Structure formats: structure tokens, C-alpha cells
Amino acid sequence: MNIDTQILERAKLWLKEPFDEDTRKQVQELIDHNPKELTDSFYKTLEFGTGGLRGIMGVGANRVNKYTIGLATQGLCNYLKKQFPQEEIKVAIAHDSRNNSDYFAEIAANVFAANGLTVYLFDALRPTPELSFAVRYLHCKSGIVITASHNPKEYNGYKVYWEDGAQVTPPHDKNIITEVNAIQSIDSVRFNGDKQLIHTIGKEVDDAYLSKVAELSLSPKAIAKYKDMKIIYTPIHGTGVSLVPQALGRFGFSNIIHIPEQDVIDGNFPTVQSPNPEEASALKMAIDKAHEVSAELVMATDPDADRVGIAVRDTKNNMVLLNGNQTAVILIYYLLYKWKENNKLTGKEYIVKTIVTTDLLSKIANDFDVPCYNVLTGFKYIAEVIRNYEGTKQFIGGGEESYGYLTGEFVRDKDAVMSCAMIAEIAAWTKDQNKTLYELLTDIYSKYGFFKEKLVSLTKKGKDGREQIQAMMKKLRSEYPQTIAGSDVVLIHDYLNSETIDLISDLRYEIPLPKSDVLQFVTRDDTMVSIRPSGTEPKIKFYIGVRQELNSKEDFEKVSALTDKKIEAVTDDMGIE
């Protein structure tokens, strides 16, 4: 394999000081023996996506290492100083359980301090949502968390937060990377910080955060009645290990059953193939424990505790996994129902979801006469809506199909800690209604219609993979399907070109959202297929949503089977499985 000249020259810069000796040796090894890995490691610089900076750990400009972390932090420092001249700039830092996360957090802390910024560094691993809370609680201008969320063990990352506690959105995200790219040499990164500017934080922030979480409870009487309900919880070797059980305890639950092997903090995630609660295999040990002790609810959080997957008992007493859309439906329905019951709906409340999340949420919100705002994929866009309406409207809750949910406004990112507490509360509340969570879901489907979704992800790694994904999106725009699963395509939403094309009337409408490389095809029977390249993984994702009327709960299994067949037909037509 021939190595591109520009890539080779970029790599050779890493063979000199100030890069350390070990880094120089690894780069030389790639040049001599592994041209493909060299190309993938140097063909581009890591960029901010929907989740910030994320990539495989290793040497190179396209890898996560002390130098790319240092460059990102120096660029962020330069931008913060331009944005807040003559002001004290405080930043908060957290990290998850991944290999090198604590090391990268210390690197970032030293760079911030070397640039004269005041740093609040957590004393140990903490959930990502607590970092979001800490930024606001400590009146910081920015914050970062070292994490790659639910990605495999070889990944790590760097999420950047702004002063409102939300991940950076345009123009800040692009401006930060512009500052990073403007750094001509690693010599410009100040790695040696003033230790006096680095302050350790811990229990005080934990207590303040958990107190706010406890205030979210809407059914304390139901919890008191069923406080001994058996709940299986696993952090999958991650940051939820301490705070999720504490949050459940503050709500009033007293029978939290652990998986000891998965309470062990380990960045290799030894008990799972992937620490992703979206995958059934990640919950296997917890579900086995549920069978063993006859528990009613299983909850599992990812390494940085911003996503939660759950399993509940169906009508045949089997443990079944709910997908991210189903959990969001249960949560949002419960919140709206209780707010209405408690006479808290004043006409100024709203919920938010992403464009690839089930439209059932919109239908439920409409029934309660509460607006539902649609935003681009990425929880930072949900947080942006909260910021825009702060002080004038009240955010009740929101979520996205990728197992991320939020209640209240004191955190500005998806939060699995509070979500676990709220889901457990809903389980107690439904139990008090002589129902289960599963039966609540079927009641919702009976009332609003049966919605079923499926996500298909195609992995395309490296430079070649990125080019393949770009080619796929280009082809879909120029040769869009005429029919999908036997139904005519009637609408095309092209978020990159900011337009909706009505194929029936041949009219075009502007999409009032920022440009994003997303395509949606809507058919005459309301089937929707959304396609987008992932902003954080080497994947192209296909989100499939189908609808069917459910006239009675007795027809649930039959209708579910019909929707499964329709989804299978969609995947066949799209050639994705």
C-alpha cells in the first residue's frame, strides 16, 4: 500500500521532539510496517461531532492521546479567553472508567492551569451528567469530560461543555476546532500547569446533585408502598456504580440488587462484549440475576452513565428488553400524566425529542396539549431548546432513541442517574395501579397507535469507510427510493440542504434547523426511514419507524408481528440487512 505524501509528512512531524520517545517509536513502527494504520492515524485531525472529540486511543492526529487531548484543550483555552476577556475563567473536569481517562483528565487540567484558568477536577470517576450539573453549580465558563460513552474499550473521547452546562453547539463547536487547527506546533501547547489553580471536588457536588435529583420524584406514596420492590442495577464497570444506587435510595427504594462482577471499575469491560446498554448482551448478567431472584426491573447504564437500558416482565412473566423509544414513551407519558394530575400544566410547558426518535412522543404530547419540539440528533440540541426558553417556558422532559433521557432543567445532557430513579418510580406507580411497566406500554399503544422502531448500523472503519459512507449518502440523495415496503415515498426531508420535498404536490419547504447530513424518507402509510452518518462512530445509521393501529390489547402480539414483517421488508428494500 502506497502512503499518501501529505500523510507521511504529517506523521514524520511526530518523530521529533517535543513528542516523547515512546510516541516516536510507535510512529516509526507504523511508517515501517503498517501503512494502513498510519493512514488511518494521520489522514485527518479528530473533529468535534455530536458528542465532541472521540476516537481510538493511539498515536497520531486522528487518535486520542496526550497530544490530541493537549491540542484540544489549548484550543479551547484560546477560545475561552477570546470569549471571556477580563473575566475569571473556571472549568470543571470529570472522567469515566475507561483506560487512560484519569490520565487524560490530568493532562487537560494541567493545560487549563498553565493557561491561567481555574480548574475544578473531580477526585475520581463521575457520571457525565454530574459534570453538566457541576458546570452550572460552580459557575464555570466551560467543562469537559473524558469519555467515549458506550463505545468499545479501544475508544476514548473528550466532551466539551459551555457555561449553560450543555455540550457545545454552533458556533462554539466549530470555533473551538478552528482554534485547535490554528495551533501550528505542539510546542504551543502549555502542558505544565500551576497546581495551585487545580482544585479537587467531590462529595459536596455529589450531594448537591443528588438533592436536585430527589426533588424530581412525583409519586412518593407509591414508592413508600413498594420500596422493597426488587431492582437489579448494573453500571457495566462504569461511573454509575455509586451515584445510581444513591439516587434510588434518596427516592426511597431499599432493595437494589447488584451484579458484583460488574461493579468492578475496569476500562476493559471484562464481562461484556461491549458496554452498550442498547445491546442485549450487555444486560445478560443482570437479566440472569433477575430470573434468579424474581426481580421486576433491570436497569443498566453505560460507562459514563448518560444512557440506560431496561428490561421488564411481560404478560407471560418473561423478562423483555425495551428499546430506547419505548422507554422514552413510558417516561414522557408518565411525566405528562402526573403534571396534569397535579395541576402543574399552565400552557408554558414543553417536551423535546430528536428527529430520529419515535413520533409517538409528539402524539402523546399533543394529547396533553403540550408542545413537542423536534431537534437534530445529539442531546446538545435538546439542551439548546432549554436554554432558548429558559425563564419563559418550562421543560418537562425529553429524550432520544439512543437510550438517553432528561427530566428537569438542572442538568443539560442526557442523564441515566435521574432516569434510573424515575424509571423505578414509574414501576412503583404502575404497581400501585395493579399494572406493570409492560402493561402501561401496551395501554399507551392501545390509546395512540402501535409504533415500532429499529436501528440498523453499518460499520465502515477508517479513511476508506468514511469515503464509502459519503458515497452512500450522495447516492441516496440522487437516486432516492420510489417505494419502501410496498408504499410510495411521499416526503423527503433533506437536512443537509434544509428542505422538505413533497413528492405529491412537487412543492418544497424550508427546514428551520441547522444543516446536518441526515435524510428522511416518509411513505404514504407513515413508514419513516432516517439515514445519518454517526458523528461519534465509524457508522452509517438507518432508523426505521413503522405504524399500525392497535384496536385492543389482546391484539398486541399479532400487531407486533405485523410491524416486524414490515420492518423486515424495509430493510430488504433499502438493502441494509
pLDDT at 572: 94
Q: What is the pLDDT of residues 523-551, one digit of tens each?
A: 999 999 999 998 777 899 999 999 998 88
Q: For residue 518, which of 494, 499, 538 has the smallest C-alpha distance?
A: 494
- Quickly state the pLDDT bin for 304 (edges 50, 70, 90): very high
pLDDT at 51: 57
Is 138 or 176 the better-scoring residue by pLDDT?
138
Give me the long-range contacts of 488-491 (CB less than 8 A, separation at least 24): 488/523, 488/524, 489/521, 489/522, 489/523, 490/522, 490/523, 490/524, 491/520, 491/521, 491/522
In a domain, 418, yes or no: yes
pLDDT at 65: 96
Q: What is the pLDDT of residues 363-390, one digit of tens each?
A: 999 999 999 999 999 899 999 999 999 9
At which residue does the C-alpha cell 436554554 appear? 387
Looking at the structure, do residues 549 and 407 belong to the same domain, yes or no?
no
Q: For residue 421, which of 127, 92, 124 has the smallest C-alpha distance?
A: 127
* Domain coverage including residue 458: 450-574
- Other C-beta atoms within 10 Å of 194: how many? 14
* Percent over 90 (pLDDT), the chain: 89
Contacts of 352 (CB under 8 A, 6+ apart): 372, 373, 374, 375, 382, 385, 386, 395, 398
In a domain, 32, yes or no: no
Identify whether the C-beta of residue 147 lies closer than 8 Å to the C-beta of residue 303: yes
In a domain, 2, yes or no: no
Is 211 tagged catalytic? no
Identify whether the C-beta of residue 518 lies closer than 8 Å to the C-beta of residue 496: yes
| CATH number of the CATH domain containing 512 | 3.30.310.50
pLDDT at 521: 97
| CATH number of the CATH domain containing 90 | 3.40.120.10
Q: For residue 39, which of 72, 12, 8, 84 has the smallest C-alpha distance?
A: 8
Looking at the structure, do residues 331 and 357 belong to the same domain, yes or no?
yes
Looking at the structure, do residues 256 and 306 belong to the same domain, yes or no?
yes
In a domain, 21, yes or no: no
Give the pairing type, strands 519-523 and 507-510: unpaired
- Quickly state the pLDDT bin for 1 (edges 50, 70, 90): low
Looking at the structure, do residues 308 and 455 belong to the same domain, yes or no?
no
**What average pLDDT does the chain have?**
95
Looking at the structure, do residues 135 and 182 belong to the same domain, yes or no?
yes
pLDDT at 298: 98
The alpha carbon of residue 397 and the mean position of all alpha carbons in its chain are separated, in whole angstroms, by 15
In a domain, 37, yes or no: no
Q: What is the pLDDT of residues 164-187, one digit of tens each?
A: 999 998 889 888 888 988 998 899
**Residue finishing a domain among 448, 479, 512:** 448
Looking at the structure, do residues 68 and 161 belong to the same domain, yes or no?
yes
In a domain, 28, yes or no: no
Identify whether the C-beta of residue 348 lies closer than 8 Å to the C-beta of residue 336: no
The catalytic residue among 149, 242, 419, 530 is 149
Evaluate if residue 470 carries a pLDDT over 60. yes
Looking at the structure, do residues 558 and 465 belong to the same domain, yes or no?
yes
In a domain, 12, yes or no: no
Lowest mean pLDDT among 82-91, 324-333, 528-537: 528-537
**Residue finishing a domain among 185, 201, 217:** 201
In a domain, 33, yes or no: no
- Quickly state the pLDDT bin for 410 (edges 50, 70, 90): very high
- Quickly state the pLDDT bin for 573 (edges 50, 70, 90): very high
Looking at the structure, do residues 335 and 477 belong to the same domain, yes or no?
no
- Quickly state the pLDDT bin for 45 (edges 50, 70, 90): confident
The Cα–Cα gap between 478 and 519 comes to 12
Evaluate if residue 52 carries a pLDDT over 80. no
Looking at the structure, do residues 380 and 429 belong to the same domain, yes or no?
yes
Looking at the structure, do residues 455 and 317 belong to the same domain, yes or no?
no
pLDDT at 49: 59
Looking at the structure, do residues 444 and 455 belong to the same domain, yes or no?
no
**Residue finishing a domain among 426, 448, 470:** 448
The Cα–Cα gap between 129 and 314 comes to 31
Looking at the structure, do residues 141 and 184 belong to the same domain, yes or no?
yes
Contacts of 302 (CB under 8 A, 6+ apart): 149, 150, 236, 238, 275, 276, 277, 308, 403, 416
Q: What is the pLDDT of residues 552-567, one digit of tens each?
A: 888 888 999 999 999 9
Total count of domains within the chain: 3
